[in-house]
Amino acid sequence: MKHEHVCHALLELSADTDAPTEMADDPALLMPLMDKKQWNLVTTDGDFLRALYEKKVAFGGLIIFILDDPEVLHDQGPAIDRLFERYPRLTAKRMYTITASRVKIRQLPGGHEKS
């Protein structure tokens, strides 16, 4: 809540689907519900993001991809701080990849299309 954002759990989508945990591996199922809820995605799951790009799943929100340092326990909080220090205002239809030393921005599939 430090940056005035609220986190949600995948199971909160239970009202919208009868199998919310199955969506964790399928961007084509999850991302339309995320758009509907106007939620963004914070993840450390590189396989999920590869599938998102391979399937060319459009997403109108933004994704924060944290590349954890395996030597540092609970590195996500400081990673989010680094992101907002560098980019105080985040842009939709972008993926922000955060490492220990930098923040990289990439356009999401469908990000060049007008909404």
pLDDT by residue for the chain (115 residues), tens digit each? 455 677 888 888 877 777 777 788 899 999 999 999 999 999 989 999 999 999 999 999 999 999 876 666 667 788 888 899 999 999 999 999 998 888 999 999 876 555 4
Instruction: For the chain, give every domain's residue range.
Output: 25-107
Instruction: Map tokens 């459009």 to a residue.
Output: 58
d(CA 65, CA 58): 16
Q: What is the pTM of this model?
A: 0.82
Half-sphere exposure of 8 (CA within 13 A, CB side): 13
Which residues make beta-bridge pairs with 63? 41, 95
Sheet holding 94-98, edge to edge: 41-43, 63-66, 94-98, 103-107
